[in-house]
Structure 1
Amino acid sequence: MTRVSATEFKNNIGAFSDAAMNEPVIITSHQRDRLVLMSADEYRRLTGTQNGISPEIELLMEQRLEKHRNTIIELANR
């Protein structure tokens, strides 16, 4: 895993962004780990989200869409 200072990261953001596509990059400040840069795919894998939406929110959206779909069908049948 790559570990860099915030200044080093700022000065070479492109290189470290590319590196983060293969493995997390830890960004430090005053010798303390502060941030972790990782690919969006790895973030989604770790959080179990798809397109940044958690499974719980996705289920809630599907339920609400189904309710609206049923309302539209009911109105169309009148």
Structure 2
Amino acid sequence: MTRVTATEFKNNIGAFSDAAMSEPVIITSHQRDRLVLLSADEYRRLTALTEGVTAQDKDRVARGLERHRSTILELAKR
């Protein structure tokens, strides 16, 4: 994956837009990941993965998240 600052992205939007056609481009701000630029095809592929999600699937994911809540919160602080 390509990682660029917001300023680099702004100054070279065409090049990074082209790069996003083949891999996600992470845009950072103040040394933190802020945005991810990806192709429309990749976005559609990712969002299509959720179309067949059932209530049972959502419950299973929610239980897993709750089980790992403290770890997730600790990682989010980093």
Band the TM-score falls in, shorter-chain normalisation: 0.5 to 0.7
Distance 2:23 2:41 in 1: 11
Q: Residue deviations 1:38-67, cap 9 Å, x none? A: 000000000008xxxx859xxxxxxxxxxx
Aligned ranges 1:21-36 → 2 under 5 Å: 21-36=21-36
Identity score, percent? 85
**What number of residue pairs does the alignment pair up?**
52
Runs of 4+ in structure 1 deviating by more than 4 angstroms, as ranges, are: none
CA RMSD, aligned part only? 1.7
1:2 maps to 2:2: yes
Q: Is there any run of 5+ residues in structure 1 with no aligned partner, and where?
A: 57-78
Aligned ranges 1:5-16 → 2 under 5 Å: 5-16=5-16
Q: Is there any run of 5+ residues in structure 2 with no aligned partner, and where?
A: 53-78
How big is the shift at 1:10? 0.1
1:47 maps to 47
Distance 1:21 1:14 in 2: 11
Distance 1:4 1:55 in 2: 32
TM-score by length of 2: 0.62
TM-score by length of 1: 0.62
